Amino acid sequence: MGRMSRNFLSILVLVGLISLAGCAGLFQHLEAPHVSLADVRLRDSTLFEQRYVLFLRIQNPNTFAIPVQGLQYNLDLAGEPFAQGLADKGVEIPAMGSAILEVEAVSTTVALVKQLQRMGASNGAEKLGYRVQGVLHLGGRPRLPFDYQGEINLAGLLGRQ
């Protein structure tokens, strides 16, 4: 192999290593998205479980789009596990933007009864705390965890504003 070929090969290897370092740096600076609950609707109910449609708002604080291929998540109400789900729906969250992802969640009748008992014991509480946590699955990239806590205004839902 001639001197010119070795120099060319060395330059190619160097460019490849710099490219890999740049990609690794990009994902080290990936800021976790904010995933909050935008709406919940009861889809159907049986004796043993309930299925809900959750509308999750995913906000991307990064300066580049995030290609979501799916997610797994848990929903807690008032500090207690309530529902969970998986989704293989894809959506691209634009840079510095947001999107709503419609997913299905399942809860057991036992979890629902416990939540209704807690709400009854809260003596007319105005707000109900929730937590949605899980992992976004990105196309060909690492999984991205999320964890968000918020409140549902019960007074507004029940017309007691």
Tokens of 5: 């070929």
Strand partners, 18: none
Q: What percent of the chain has pLDDT over 70?
A: 72
Whether this prediction's pTM lies above 0.85 is answered by no
Quickly state the pLDDT bin for 122 (edges 50, 70, 90). low
Q: What is the CATH class of 32-157?
A: mainly beta
Q: Residue 28: is its pLDDT beyond 70?
A: no
Per-chain mean pLDDT for the chain: 80
What whole-number distance in Å separates Cα of residue 8 and Cα of residue 79?
Answer: 61
Mean pLDDT in residue range 14-38 = 65
Domain spans of the chain? 1-30, 32-157
- Count of alpha carbons within 13 Å of 86, Cβ hemisphere only? 1
Q: Which residues contact 121 (CB under 8 A, 6 or more apart)?
A: none
- Structural contact between residues 70 and 80, judged by C-beta atoms closer than 8 angstroms: no
- The pLDDT tens digits of the residues spanning 49-81 come to 999 999 999 999 999 999 999 999 999 988 888
Quickly state the pLDDT bin for 12 (edges 50, 70, 90). low
Q: Residue 24: is its pLDDT beyond 50?
A: no
**pLDDT of res. 8:** 56
Mean pLDDT in residue range 30-34 = 88
